[in-house]
Amino acid sequence: MVKIIKKEVLTPQIKLMVIDAPRVARHAKAGQFVIVRINEEGERIPLTIADFDSEKGTVSIIFQEVGKSTIQLGELNEGDHITDFVGPLGKEIEEKNFGHVVCVGGGVGIAPIYPKAKVLKKLGNRITSIIGARSSDLLFWEDRMQSVSDALYVTTDDGSYGEKGFVTSVLDRVIQKEKIDLVIAVGPLMMMKMVSLLTKKYELPTLVSLNPIMVDGTGMCGCCRVTVGKECKFTCVDGPVFDGHSVDYDELLARQRNYLEEEKRAVENWLM
Ligand code: NAD
């Protein structure tokens, strides 16, 4: 059992929770994730660690209420307990001075890009961040991203805040005028695919963090398999961070839609 010590509503459907989980916090590294189970009957929800404080023993998670389990999680409040909070799982990103790193975060993907930018900034990298959301009311953590970036660009699809357009338009512009050593992108699969197609043209090393359907998170079930460079990889133990140019996005996009009907029905039954 772990305790929720802080809850913040970032946007109507995106919530932040700070969890008292000293053992996870002590070992956590940027890029890793946890699996949350609300109660004994609960579904396992994989969530990338958005922040952690090993001294205070806390781990922050950010999630979008998209299905039954995330809606249920969002109904919990400060002081409530979560039955299982397993982690840190997966591999951390390589922590070194690459030079100039461009961190791209789209929508909820802004949460998992933050710890990566933070640790790389600490290691002396120059960080340019590009964050984007559909509209201003879906944008969060601009201040946090600013605090770990040498330059920050903000986009909204509808132009309600920052620059109108996708994160990829700004990335294209930054690529044209600056030398870049590494691009890291986290967000919807289609965004990571488009970022990777763009950076491939310029032969810029690119990392993406994948979030396929996942069950156990420890390499046993194979649900999170993904083709990377023609090899079958398990996102939970081989990732979640992979070379963006080698991921078979189309296969992953199709696999993500496998249970849409069941997911929809579960939400409808829960809300009835
Ligand atoms: P969204 O659809 O609102 O997109 C967020 C931003 O991504 C957009 O504002 C745009 O700048 C960019 N984008 C989207 N489509 C693009 C395209 N075709 N080309 C270029 N840029 C594009 O995102 P959302 O609703 O906040 O995100 C939800 C998705 O993010 C879910 O599918 C979720 O699974 C995924 N997600 C991924 C991770 C991860 O670790 N990879 C973490 C959290 C959420």
Say whether pLDDT at 213 is over 90.
Answer: no
Q: What is the mean pLDDT of residues 114-137?
A: 97
DSSP letters for 226-254: EEETTEEEEHHHH-SEEETTTB-HHHHHH
Given a contact cutoff of 8 angstroms between Cβ atoms, the answer to whether 243 and 221 are in contact is no
Does the beta carbon of 132 sit less than 6 angstroms from any atom of ligand 1?
Answer: yes
* Same domain flag for 73 and 105: no
Which domain covers residue 105, as residue numbers? 100-256
pLDDT of 160 above 80: yes
CA distance 38 to 82: 5
In tens, the pLDDT along 228-266 reads: 998 999 999 999 999 999 999 999 999 888 878 888 888
Do 80 and 145 fall within a single domain? no
Residue 25, in any domain of the structure: yes
Q: What radius of gyration, in Å, describes the C-alpha atoms of the chain? A: 18
CATH of the domain at 104: 3.40.50.80
36/113 same-domain check: no
The tokens describing 55, both together, are 């001294």
**With a 6 A CB cut-off, is 199 part of the ligand 1 pocket?**
no
Please give the mean pLDDT across all residues of the chain: 94
Residue 94 DSSP class: P
- DSSP string for 134-164: SSGGG---HHHHHHT-SEEEEEETTSSSSEE
In which band, very low, low, confident or very high, does the pLDDT at 271 lie, cut at 50, 70 and 90?
confident
Give start and end residues of each alpha helix (H) in 5-141: 22-27, 68-75, 110-122
Q: What is the ipTM of this complex?
A: 0.91
Q: What number is the average pLDDT over the span 62-74?
A: 91
Question: Does pLDDT of 212 surpass 90?
Answer: no
User: Could you report the per-residue pLDDT of 95-107, keeping only the tens digit for each?
Assistant: 999 999 999 999 9
In terms of domains, do 74 and 186 share one?
Answer: no
Assess whether the C-beta atom of 33 lies below 6 angstroms from ligand 1.
no
pLDDT tens-digit series, residues 19-65: 999 999 999 999 999 999 999 888 899 999 999 999 999 999 999 99
The structural domain count of the chain equals 2
CATH for 14: 2.40.30.10
The Å distance, Cα 38 to ligand 1 centre, comes to 25
Examine the domain organization and report whether 56 and 144 are in the same domain: no
CA of 62 to the centre of ligand 1 (A): 14
- Res 17 pLDDT > 80: yes
Residue 272 has pLDDT above 80, yes or no: no
Q: Is 112 in the pocket of ligand 1 (CB under 6 A)?
A: yes
Nearest to 127 by CA among 165, 182, 198, 175: 182
Residue owning the nearest CA to atom 16 of ligand 1: 191
